[in-house]
Each structure stands twice: as structure tokens, then as C-alpha cells.
Structure 1
């Protein structure tokens, strides 16, 4: 059984994967290249003053990944409810020798 992808399938897979890769890989590399701190929370000193914050807000990164997963979930639902054309199942007469 082979899978045939139409334009909707290709766009949904590309957008979902691109959003997740952007949120995890690209913004993760930017965060590493920006330097310390690597954590999601801002660093504070003993007085409670913020001394360092992450380069990219973790809410943005998480939102991109979740949006990518939602796109893929919606694509999966679309694939589940669309019906492919049935295969040609015409009965054939076979005679025995």
C-alpha cells in the first residue's frame, strides 16, 4: 500500500516541521550563541535584581513547538476523515483448467 500525498499534505507537513525545527533547533542555536544563561528563568542576584535573561523568551519557543504540533494534529485529523477513492474491486471470473 503506497501513500499518495497531495498539496495539502505536503504543506501541512512542511509547516508543522518548520515550526518545530524553528522553535527547537534554530532558536536553541541562537540561545547558545548568545551565551549564558541557558536556563528558561532569568538569573537574579541576592538582592532579587535581574542580572541576566535568556536571549529568546521560552514562551515563544514553546509556542512555536506547540503550534507545529497542532498543525500536525490537524493534518492527522484531516487525513483520518478524508476518504480515498476505493480501489477497483471488480470481480474476475477465473476458470479452472
Structure 2
């Protein structure tokens, strides 16, 4: 049994893959190139008296990165549900058999 990919299959894989690579790899490289902080929270710099003198924020908001990856996974989930519920072409002919008569 061979399955071919139709337009919906190719589009779902391309869009979901693009969103996940963008959210994980591309924006991760942007974070590395931008320098510290690497975490999700802002880093506060204080002086010797304990006063906050500067706050450094991440280059890309972690909510945006997480949202892109989750959106890619949701698209894959919807595509999987579509593939499970859609009939396989030619399956109806494979299940019909002739019953020999006496």
C-alpha cells in the first residue's frame, strides 16, 4: 500500500515545519547573537547600594517563540486528525471479495 502526498499534506508539513524551525532554531540563534540574557525573565542590574540601574530584556519575547512552536504542533495535530478521518482511496475495492456459490 503506497500513499501519495496531496496538496493539503504538503502544505501542512511545510507550514508546521517552518513555524517550528522559526520558533526553535532561527529565534534561538537570534537570542545567542543578541547576547545575554538567555532566560525568559528580564535581568536586573543593580549597583552597590542595591538600586536597580538597568533592566535587560531578552531579544525575542519567549511567549512569541513558544506560540510559534505550539502553533506548528497544532497544525500537525489537525493534519493528523484529517489523515485519520479521510478514507484511503481504493480501500473499498480491496475489501470486497466474491463468495463462491455451490
TM-score bracket relative to the smaller structure: 0.7 to 0.9
Superposition pairs for residues 15-94 of structure 1, below 5 Å? 15-45=15-45, 46-48=50-52, 50-85=54-89, 86=91, 88-89=93-94
Report the TM-score when normalising by structure 2. Answer: 0.80
SS at 1:44's partner residue? Answer: strand
Distance (Å, rounded) in 2 between the aligned partners of 1:28 and 1:36: 12
Q: Unpaired runs of 5+ in structure 1?
A: 93-97
Q: Unpaired runs of 5+ in structure 2?
A: none
Map Cα deviations across residues 10-60 of structure 1 (whole Å, 9 max, x no partner).
Answer: 000000010000000000001101111111110013435652110000000
**Any runs of at least 4 consecutive aligned residues in structure 1 with deviations exceeding 6 A, and if so which?**
none
Measured on the aligned residues, the alpha-carbon RMSD in Å equals 1.8
Distance (Å, rounded) in 2 between the aligned partners of 1:76 and 1:30: 31
Task: State how many pairs are aligned.
Answer: 92
Q: Do the aligned partners of residues 49 and 81 (structure 1) sit closer, same or farther apart at CA in structure 2, a change above 3 Å counting?
A: farther
Q: Which residue of 2 aligns with 1:95?
A: none
